[in-house]
Structure 1
Amino acid sequence: MTVRNTRNRKRNRILRRMLECAALLSLCLLSGCWDKLELEEQAFVVVIGLDKGPRNTVEVTFQIANPQIGSSDIGTAEGEPPSDTIRFTSSDILSAKELANTVITRTINFAHLKTMIVSEELARDEIFPHIAGAAIRDPELRREVAMIVSREKAFDFIMKNRPRLETRPHKYYELMQQRWMETGYVPFSTLNQYLQQQVTDSMFLAIYATARQHNHRVSRHEDAYLAGQVPKRAGDPVQMIGAAVFHNGRMVGTLTGEQMRWVQMLRHKASVDAFITSFSDPLEEDAMVTVRLFKNGNTKIKFDLRKEVPRIHVTLPLRIQLLSFTSLEPYATDPEMQRMLIKHLKEQIESELLEVIRLSQKKFPGDPFEWELFARKHFMTMPAYQAYGWSKHFKKAKVDVKVELRLENFGKQRTPYMQTKRKEG
């Protein structure tokens, strides 16, 4: 009996020590709350603006959201503005973040940063790649931040952008990104893409925007505009259409909304699958034909790099829905006229694609279509590809474009009556 009691006491002692050790180890896994910050103790920056400052400095604009606006606590924030905008002159973004706390009582937080606005003046300056590269050293600043180039100062752009339908500034840019993916008027550009293509010596396309009207004009084509040229009369002054073209981290030119759409279609995989556009009518010069254009598969790109002047063969599969034609010609019921229309649209699309390609070869120092990704496959090693100099050879390359166009339907919910009768007969 005594031996059994002794064994039980030893077992209990061992179990007690194991529990004590487990309790001590669990303390190491518990996080303290001494570094916690309440919501009202933080200032959430949702938009950053960058302008060129004096003597190689940068003017950094912070648009700080009011977290109580748009929340269930809106009753306590009645009469408060949805955001506050403040500007500092500093050597870089991170220094401006520290400098902001000389004025702002809350801790500056980049965790909810959605958009970076860069003025065109700074984007064309050689100092900009260093400013953008230094910014990502802050772990709060995410690489998925949308990058927009404004024609005017970024501070002026942010101050003038007061959308009437969206109270919260971050929501405005979030919804606009969805529209960009649908229309194809602008590229889908992020800070991460900018930094990646800067390293690979390829072209980068950023969203082009403005809050001022520039050279107002009316075009027959609804997408042949740059930011500031769209003919509108009221509403928010901000326009986002076209692209700012970068090479080696610096802005070197622009593309209109129409050119941007064709650039995306010429890429192997486009970020936009369909958009609505218009062409001239083959039977009436003053009439227009409006279609919905779909990409019917990936763009096929073939290279012949054996000679000094390379040859590039591009095949673009497309299908269209005919939405409207102001000439009132019977395209929906006459098969012969349909074939004539398809031939005419095919020639127009090929002509516009070749025009964009020639513009890129003449105006830009590189390839905005991302064809270099496929040209690399023709070289055994990366040093061999770099020695070839793709950008130099692209400028003198001969490019052939073939469009495979298929008429899907006329955008109607049912087949036209005359066509139905013909099938029945």
Structure 2
Amino acid sequence: MRKLHLKLLLIALVLLSLTGCWSKMELPERSFIMSLGIDEGRNGNIRLTAQLYKPNPGLKGRGGADTFVNVQSEDESMFETVRDLSLHMGRKVHWSHMRIIVIGEAFAKKRGLEEILDFFYRNSEIRLTSYVHIAKGKASTYMSTKPLIENTLGQQLLTIQEVAYKYSGKTANVTLHDLGFQLKGQVDDAMIPYLYRSKKITETTPVAGAALLKRGRMIGKLSSKDMESVLMLNDEYVRGVIEVPCLNQPNGKSKKKETIQVISTSTQLSPEIKKRSVTVKASVTIEGTVTELKCSQITTSEEEMKFINRVKEVVEQDMQKAYKELKRKKVDVINLGNLIYRRHPALWKSIKEDWHEIFAKSQLEIHTDVKIINTGTTVGKSVLSEEK
């Protein structure tokens, strides 16, 4: 009995020492940011366009009412601008649901990202898994775009970017966490998915290509085609399509192309340095399936090898073109400098200061191994071919 009394007394003391939820904040007091647009405001201020979740739409929500609302604020610093958002909503900003940050191209070129990123990395509420995009024009214009399928623009842009990265290799996959590693590496170059407007068929907001950053400031961009090769060199290429032009096509007619669906890739980079001259040897392995045949046959081992050699030629030409573009801009986003630092830290110390000039004069040698897993049918030629 005495032991039971002692246990009860101990439990009571523990319960009395526990603090209550004196600083708790209920849901009606919070305002959840889904996506954030950043532009330059008046007199050099920072202008934020926050897309906020609109709770409890009631019966109107079933009829297609917006589930979000946009609020703007402007001030000299990020933190004060964020605090000013509460003046318009009467609720404290909450970051746990933020999907994406969109930065206007003019802001990224003129002022760079360092002054705004410092706020995000210091804020414990912000998830480093939030994605970062740079947009053509002003970020605020994208915040007012209605999503085609998803409930919010942030979710819509996120799904577009993920699909473009995973299934076509036409853009990068960069979160706040990834961007921090790029900017704080031995080479402070970075690339971020590029967002723009398209009115070819319907008004959409594709994510394709990438904005290139040097010391946090945008200095140019990569096309979606070059992006495929850069991802392959980075060993980040997941899936995509390789187009192989048909040979000996008549002039003046639309050029036919055969296609390969890439199932998997693997790339190993081996830099060789001799007297501050760098040669990069890239070993690339590609596995894919034939998805279109218009002018080739793969019915014998000789025909298969001939087709594979044409695929190799296309892949290597595209890689060399993308690599030359990076050298021209003197932007190392294939982590070559970081690779040299990890393998040869003493050597890297002697070339770090001049790395961008050394990179601009480097050479790329590519060895490609292509494996055709499947031709899609039991016939290794065009399924509509009249040849028997």
Instruction: Tell me if structure 1 keeps the 8 A contact 2:71–2:88.
Output: no
1:265 aligned to which of 226, 232, 238: 232
Q: Secondary structure at the match of 1:155?
A: helix
Instruction: Tell me if structure 1 keeps the 8 A contact 2:239–2:261.
Output: yes
1:64 aligned to which of 41, 52, 55: 52
Match of 1:321 in 2: 289
Match of 1:290 in 2: 259
In percent, how many aligned pairs have the same letter? 18
Instruction: Tell me if structure 2 keeps the 8 A contact 1:243–1:260.
Output: yes
Q: Secondary structure at the match of 1:103?
A: helix
Match of 1:278 in 2: 243
Q: Secondary structure at the match of 1:140?
A: coil
Q: Which runs of 5+ in 2 are unaligned?
A: 382-388
Mark the CA change 1:326 to 1:372 in structure 2 (over 3 Å): closer, same or farther.
same
Instruction: Tell me if structure 1 keeps the 8 A contact 2:157–2:207.
Output: no
Instruction: Tell me if structure 2 keeps the 8 A contact 1:277–1:290.
Output: yes
1:6-405 matched pairs, under 5 angstroms: 12=2, 16-29=5-18, 31-68=19-56, 74-75=58-59, 77=61, 80-159=65-144, 161-179=145-163, 180-200=165-185, 201-213=187-199, 232-234=200-202, 236-267=203-234, 269-270=235-236, 272-284=237-249, 286-297=255-266, 299-327=267-295, 329=296, 331-363=297-329, 365-381=330-346, 384=349, 387=352, 389-405=354-370
Mark the CA change 1:76 to 1:366 in structure 2 (over 3 Å): closer, same or farther.
closer
Mark the CA change 1:417 to 1:280 in structure 2 (over 3 Å): closer, same or farther.
closer
Q: Secondary structure at the match of 2:123?
A: coil
Q: How far off its partner does 1:383 sit?
A: 7.1
Paired amino acid for 2:379: P
Q: How far off its partner does 1:162 sit?
A: 1.1
Q: How far off its partner does 1:253 sit?
A: 0.9
Instruction: Tell me if structure 2 keeps the 8 A contact 1:281–1:325.
Output: no
CA distance in 1, matches of 2:9, 2:157: 54
Q: Secondary structure at the match of 1:50?
A: strand
What CA deviation, in whole Å up to 9, does each residue of 1:9-36 have, x standing for no partner? xx73x7535532331123334x523433
Q: How far off its partner does 1:334 sit?
A: 4.3
Q: How far off its partner does 1:109 sit?
A: 1.0
Q: Which runs of 5+ in 1 are unaligned?
A: 1-10, 214-231, 419-425
CA distance in 2, matches of 1:304, 1:408: 33
Match of 1:7 in 2: none
Mark the CA change 1:277 to 1:40 in structure 2 (over 3 Å): closer, same or farther.
farther
Instruction: Tell me if structure 2 keeps the 8 A contact 1:93–1:135.
Output: no
Paired amino acid for 2:272: D
Q: How far off its partner does 1:210 sit?
A: 1.4
Mark the CA change 1:376 to 1:238 in structure 2 (over 3 Å): closer, same or farther.
same
Q: How far off its partner does 1:56 sit?
A: 3.0
CA distance in 2, matches of 1:37, 1:81: 25
Instruction: Tell me if structure 1 keeps the 8 A contact 2:341–2:348.
Output: no
Match of 2:385 in 1: none
Q: Secondary structure at the match of 1:48?
A: strand
TM-score normalised over the length of structure 2: 0.88
Q: Secondary structure at the match of 1:402?
A: strand
CA distance in 1, matches of 2:16, 2:67: 42
Q: Secondary structure at the match of 1:376?
A: helix
Q: How far off its partner does 1:105 sit?
A: 2.0
Q: How far off its partner does 1:292 sit?
A: 0.8
Q: How far off its partner does 1:212 sit?
A: 5.0
Q: How far off its partner does 1:386 sit?
A: 5.7
Paired amino acid for 1:23: A
Mark the CA change 1:129 to 1:36 in structure 2 (over 3 Å): closer, same or farther.
same
